[in-house]
Amino acid sequence: MTNGRIAYFNGEYVPWERATVHLMSHSLGRGSAIFEVLSVHETDTGPAVFRLDEHLIRLARTAKMLDMELPLTIKDLQHAVIRTATENGFAQGFIKIIGYYPQVSFNILPPRKKIDIAVFTVDPGNTEMPPSRGATACISRWRKLDPGTVPVEAKVAANYLNGMMARQDAASRRYDYAIMLDVEGNLAEGGTESLFIVRKGALSTPALGNILDSITRRSLLEVAHAHGIPTMEEPIPYRALQEADEIFFSGTPVKVVPVKKIESRELTNVPGPVTARITGLMEHVVAGRDRRFTKWLFPIRF
């Protein structure tokens, strides 16, 4: 994964192994690192980063919520991402942007507002992929973080202990994924995935407020709407999992992950017709074949 790789590291392009911080850095000790994970796709006109602009806008929003100062403008961040991919001849996989406090600090408050930025490329083979014939899922014993305690829409490392615990709970029970409920007992999301259900041909997903404003989630809703698939963002009670015709997760690594079993309930004909259609539509979008969404693709030029 790292052999010969170049990383963007606080203004420089350096070998991967040089992009490090001290073990006593604030962001390691306090979980204060922020991040974005983006996908890179082979399109009909060459490799491209999917929705780079939206990811950078969300990174800036996360920084603002945590009273951080980015060291680069959005335009400069965009250049750093594209150049990192170019330097590595990167045509498919994932890019991770990390914003962090590198200073050694034992205090709970960060040593300064301005953070450093690093950018890495990650091959597809180094990312966990879902089962090819549908995933299994359970209701986690861990609830989604209460938005009254931390900003749940922030992509900050500390928040992801919540999702990690949910996935560990699922794995211990021999399920592929976990579904977390929010503090009111409604469906929220997976450990690091958005959740969708299909009822009578209509697509529903939990409303924002208790979940991450996922860019993949947003993309699926926009693409579905453009192709005449009814969509709803609403509070979804737990019982909907027993009534749903189809269930799937979405995320950056794989845009649509069909669910074949939820707890003891097994779904038939997986993927269902709506899930299969959305999967095909997204494949066309990321390949640059749907002209309505080519603006989502940011070319990488070697």
Residue 2 confidence class, pLDDT cut points 50, 70, 90: low
* CB contact at 8 A, 230 and 221: no
* CB contact at 8 A, 267 and 243: no
Burial class (CB in 10 A: 0-12, 13-18, 19+), 2: middle
Domains of the chain, start order: 6-126 (3.30.470.10), 135-286 (3.20.10.10)
* Nearest by Cα to 146 from 159, 156, 165, 157: 159
Per-residue confidence (pLDDT) for residue 230, from 0 to 100: 97
Task: Report how far residue 78's alpha carbon sits from residue 80's, in angstroms, rounded to the nearest whole number.
Answer: 5
What element of type H or E holds 245?
none
At 106, give phi and psi (nearest 5°).
Answer: -100, -10
| Average pLDDT estimate for 66-70 | 97
| Average pLDDT estimate for 212-223 | 97
Q: How is residue 68 written in tokens?
A: 């951080």
* CB contact at 8 A, 244 and 199: yes
| Average pLDDT of the chain, as a whole number | 95
DSSP-based three-state secondary structure for 283: helix
| Average pLDDT estimate for 235-260 | 95
Q: Is pLDDT above 80 for 132?
A: no
| Average pLDDT estimate for 238-260 | 95
Give the gyration radius of the chain's Cα atoms: 19
CA 112 to chain centre: 28
DSSP-based three-state secondary structure for 220: helix
- Side chain identity at residue 202, one-letter code: A
* CB contact at 8 A, 107 and 91: no
9 forms beta bridges with 12, 118
Residue 133 confidence class, pLDDT cut points 50, 70, 90: confident
Per-residue confidence (pLDDT) for residue 302, from 0 to 100: 80
Percent of residues, the chain, with pLDDT higher than 90: 93
Per-residue confidence (pLDDT) for residue 129, from 0 to 100: 73
Per-residue confidence (pLDDT) for residue 82, from 0 to 100: 97
Task: Report how far residue 37's alpha carbon sits from residue 97's, in angstroms, rounded to the nearest whole number.
Answer: 6
Percent of residues, the chain, with pLDDT higher than 70: 99
Q: pTM of the full predicted structure?
A: 0.94
pLDDT tens per residue across span 146-204: 999 999 999 999 999 999 999 999 999 999 999 999 999 999 999 999 999 999 999 99
Per-residue confidence (pLDDT) for residue 1, from 0 to 100: 57
Per-residue confidence (pLDDT) for residue 131, from 0 to 100: 76
What is each CA distance from 201 to 81, 197, 230, 257, in whole angstroms? 38, 10, 7, 17
Task: Report how far residue 164's alpha carbon sits from residue 160's, in angstroms, rounded to the nearest whole number.
Answer: 6
* Nearest by Cα to 197 from 179, 185, 223, 209: 179
